[in-house]
Structure 1
Amino acid sequence: MNASRHAAPDGGSRQYAGALRTSIALVAIASAAVVTAVGAIAIRVARRVVTPAPRLPDTRIVAVDAPAQTVTLARTPDTELPGRYGLFTTGSKSYVKLGQVLSSDATSVTRKLLTHVGAGEQLAPDAAFSGWYFDSPDELHVPYRSELIGSSVGPCPAWVFPAEVETDVWVVQVHGRGTTRAEALRAVPVFRALGITSLLVSYRNDGEAPRSRAGTYALGATEWRDVDAAIGYARRAGARRVIVMGWSMGGAVALQVELSSPHQELLVGLILESPVVDWRVVLDYQGRMLRLPTPVTNLAIGALGSDWATPVTRAGHAIPFDRLDGVARADELTHPILILHSDDDGFVPSEASHGLAAARPDLVQLETFSVARHTKLWNYDQDRWTRTITEWLRRQGLTNEPAAGSS
């Protein structure tokens, strides 16, 4: 027998084996720490997606020139846009309207103030640039009334802007994530000019409508029921033909109404402005914009779509991403759809809008913009935006305009 086979390992071998075990343990600990960190980040991302949050500042007020009625803002892709916009701030004013760009340099943009700011008034530096423009229905100077629409979560506030002449054509306006029905005020004059009554609605967890049990967004999967309740209200008020117009996440809600509403006999078309057509495309894009590692984004989407993760995502229920995928469900669509989307939206990529138009060219008209950015198409090119909607509605036979030559 070879005694060397049973010889005790020498000191160097023992040291090597010990070092190897230590290295393996350290690698395991480090790997576990990385996995834990990735998971924690993914959960924070997932919660951010579904949790309603106050409007966050996205620019700074550098200076206000009261005599000249101008405001200078930090330069961003939004603040440098041509057109009319709004600015949320604090101080003497909570919201001001902005006009054209007067001058700019590498770091700042000076715009005309369309809301008067007095010499003694102060605006806080932190501000949020907005496409709303109109902040209150009173600013439209047309008749309207406030209503409460009953839904499964409770009464949802709404505004009704009646057409000048009685009509059975209504448009139900659905705002986007993190905003309120005021977002859609820009569209009211367009529809009113065409003889269409406008109904601007709220939905669960938007800060105006009641809170659901979870208090979080379902990204359209449940919010559509509140919009459907609004369609029921419109029917009781005389509507026989209903258009649903959705802005951003409101587009996802509108698509769910199209696919799931029991009021199919009333629906005659959708208008989608900068819409979310497939949430996975949007979340993947936003993850890249935030420079998140792909595994973090994928894990966040997976957690949101899983029942087991709802206690930590606080979503209440799993988000049904397949059901919310408008492109995958394109064959189920039955009504004409007009999509308006900027190819450099900057928040909701137009990829899925193009995909939906390609999947259903018989139903979908896609009008693409450039430069305009997210939900700011009206602000950037009001004439084209208005003309596109007007011509589409006329082709669908949905206008109630006075006949030419009538008094």
Structure 2
Amino acid sequence: MKAPKVLGSLALAAACAFSMAFLGAAYFARRVVVPSTTRREDLFIRQVFSAEDGSLRIELQSTPLTRAPGRYSLWFGDGKGHACIGAVIAEDTSAEAVTRLVERVDSGDLQAATAGIWSGYAYSKPEQLGLPFEDVGIPVDGGVAPAWKFAPTAASPVSSTWALHAHGMGGKRAGALRGVPVASRLGLTSLVVSFRNDGEAPPSNDSRYSLGQNEWKDVEAAIKFAVDQGAERLVLFGWSLGGSMALRAANLSAHSHRIIGLVLVAPVLDWAETLTSNGSASGLPKAIARAGLSLLGSNAARWVTGLKQSIDLSALDWVTRAGDVKTPTLILHGIDDKSTPVAVSERFAELRPDLVQLVRFDVPGHSLEWNADTEKWESSVTRFLKSLPAD
């Protein structure tokens, strides 16, 4: 009589283990595709004070990110406040504190803030660039996506080449403003675009990310807008997810012959490896992460993910598909990026040395290459753009 009880207990344990694994995979899959509307303000602000020279300074919890050189961004007050944070002034290792210059407070009461979110935006509004721009609308599926159109600087010879700038997952188009000044100095008109499910453009019919599989269609709409406005050639700037979108647009666009270059900042070149790596960094077993990826690619599992269409991750694996790349590409990538490992960009560049250039940056965090070394970033982009076919 004992054997059936033991077998029953084992079966129950196995069923429970399977259920837990499935729930973990389902949770992971949904976290990947469901847009997040809020982020936790987890960076402690110790104090904000005025220095003797009248400048404003901020003392923060010391972390690899807050100690990094360069210019960054601090969001606070439930995302309504924003400040541009500049150079490190002092560091107190015993108190685990770092003091930095506050270059600009764009909105909110920074001196009343107790916590915030560190980011790479640097600019929260287009007028902060000091360049002529206008608000434009791009017709897309479901309505009109807002965009900013920047004219080249007056000192630059105007080019018939346009630069399109696409931000990353979970961000807004302001995050892509960092690429505009260098394009403008070279005479390029810039179009900084929004895309489905970013909170600015119309949502998709399922309100889910598709990891570039469908978002690229909004880049295609922007390309058509630019061509209709007189653009003869295009350079696509893509940040993180925007990089994956740019590659897909260069591959599938009806105007692909006009796309003469790609500038990809910490791009997602292989979603399977990137998401598995992110899951592992969060303590998720790789087997659970892989199961979650399988759910994303399964039509039968759309009831779990909420996707109207399953995601073909193999079509978004640009390392495996390196042979399909036909456009000169510059990749700018931090060597300590935990979100999109630089090793993937290195493999991609090794496979296509004829078309792909990789410039590494010594900076922690994701998509912070411009912030850590603006001069290196812009000089790398300048050399690349000048190497492309002239007007």
TM-score bracket, normalised by the shorter chain, equals over 0.9
Indicate whether 1:60 and 2:43 are aligned: yes
Q: Distance between the aligned counterparts of 2:238 and 2:223, measured in 1?
A: 14
Kept in 2, the 8 Å contact 1:159–1:201? The answer is yes
Q: Distance between the aligned counterparts of 2:365 and 2:158, measured in 1?
A: 36
Greater per-residue strand proportion: 2
**Which residue of 2 is the match for residue 79 of structure 1?**
66
Indicate whether 1:129 and 2:112 are aligned: no
Query: Which runs of structure 2 are paired with 1:81-230 in the superposition (5 Å)?
Result: 81-90=68-77, 94-101=81-88, 102-105=90-93, 107-115=96-104, 122-163=111-152, 164=154, 165-230=157-222
Indicate whether 1:27 and 2:10 are aligned: yes
Measure how far apart 1:369 and its partner are: 1.7
**Which residue of 2 is the match for residue 49 of structure 1?**
32
Kept in 2, the 8 Å contact 1:91–1:124? The answer is no
Q: Distance between the aligned counterparts of 2:98 and 2:6, measured in 1?
A: 56
Identify unmatched segments of 5+ residues in structure 2.
none
Spell out, residue by residue over 1:45-82, the C-alpha distance to the aligned partner (whole angstroms, 9 max, x if none).
11110111124135323322323322222233322211
Q: Distance between the aligned counterparts of 2:302 and 2:358, measured in 1?
A: 36
Name the TM-score, length of structure 1 as normaliser. Answer: 0.89
Identify unmatched segments of 5+ residues in structure 1.
1-17, 401-407
Q: Distance between the aligned counterparts of 2:3 and 2:113, measured in 1?
A: 59
Q: Distance between the aligned counterparts of 1:47 and 1:252, measured in 2?
A: 20
- Indicate how the Cα distance of structure 1 residues 121 and 251 shifts in structure 2: closer, same or farther if over 3 A, else same: closer
Measure how far apart 1:92 and its partner are: 11
> 1:327 aligned to 303, 319, 325, which one?
319
Kept in 1, the 8 Å contact 2:81–2:110? The answer is no
Q: Distance between the aligned counterparts of 2:112 and 2:78, measured in 1?
A: 5
- Indicate how the Cα distance of structure 1 residues 91 and 368 shifts in structure 2: closer, same or farther if over 3 A, else same: closer
Indicate whether 1:275 and 2:263 are aligned: no
- AA at the equivalent of 1:345: D
**Which residue of 2 is the match for residue 249 of structure 1?**
241
- Out of 368-377 and 327-336, give the one that drifted further: 368-377
- AA at the equivalent of 1:234: A
- AA at the equivalent of 2:91: S
> 2:276 aligned to 277, 284, 291, which one?
284
- AA at the equivalent of 2:77: T
Q: Distance between the aligned counterparts of 1:352 and 1:92, measured in 2?
A: 32
Q: Distance between the aligned counterparts of 1:116 and 1:298, measured in 2?
A: 43
Measure how far apart 1:169 and its partner are: 0.7
> How many corresponding residue pairs?
381
Q: Distance between the aligned counterparts of 2:289 and 2:341, measured in 1?
A: 16
Larger Cα Rg: Structure 1 or Structure 2? 1
Q: Distance between the aligned counterparts of 2:21 and 2:92, measured in 1?
A: 41
Kept in 2, the 8 Å contact 1:61–1:124? The answer is no
Name the TM-score, length of structure 2 as normaliser. Answer: 0.93
- Indicate how the Cα distance of structure 1 residues 116 and 234 shifts in structure 2: closer, same or farther if over 3 A, else same: closer
- AA at the equivalent of 1:254: A
Spell out, residue by residue over 1:314-349, the C-alpha distance to the aligned partner (whole angstroms, 9 max, x if none).
122111101001111111111101111112112111
Q: Distance between the aligned counterparts of 2:127 and 2:7, measured in 1?
A: 69
**Which residue of 2 is the match for residue 14 of structure 1?**
none
Q: SS of the counterpart of 2:205?
A: coil
Measure how far apart 1:368 and its partner are: 1.4
Query: Which runs of structure 2 are paired with 1:226-245 in the superposition (5 Å)?
Result: 226-245=218-237
Measure how far apart 1:91 and its partner are: 7.2
Kept in 2, the 8 Å contact 1:57–1:126? The answer is no
Kept in 1, the 8 Å contact 2:82–2:105? The answer is no
**Which residue of 2 is the match for residue 5 of structure 1?**
none
> 1:308 aligned to 300, 311, 317, which one?
300
Q: Distance between the aligned counterparts of 1:91 and 1:246, measured in 2?
A: 27
Kept in 1, the 8 Å contact 2:136–2:149? The answer is yes
Q: Distance between the aligned counterparts of 1:161 and 1:338, measured in 2?
A: 22
- Indicate how the Cα distance of structure 1 residues 121 and 234 shifts in structure 2: closer, same or farther if over 3 A, else same: closer
**Which residue of 2 is the match for residue 382 of structure 1?**
374
- Indicate how the Cα distance of structure 1 residues 285 and 58 shifts in structure 2: closer, same or farther if over 3 A, else same: farther
- AA at the equivalent of 2:65: D
- AA at the equivalent of 2:296: L
Runs of 4+ in structure 1 off by over 6 angstroms are none
- AA at the equivalent of 1:21: P
Spell out, residue by residue over 1:141-180, the C-alpha distance to the aligned partner (whole angstroms, 9 max, x if none).
1110011001123211100001134321101001000001
- Indicate how the Cα distance of structure 1 residues 253 and 93 shifts in structure 2: closer, same or farther if over 3 A, else same: closer
- Out of 60-69 and 254-263, give the one that drifted further: 60-69
- Indicate how the Cα distance of structure 1 residues 204 and 359 shifts in structure 2: closer, same or farther if over 3 A, else same: same
Q: Distance between the aligned counterparts of 2:161 and 2:364, measured in 1?
A: 29
Spell out, residue by residue over 1:274-300, the C-alpha distance to the aligned partner (whole angstroms, 9 max, x if none).
000110110111011011112111111
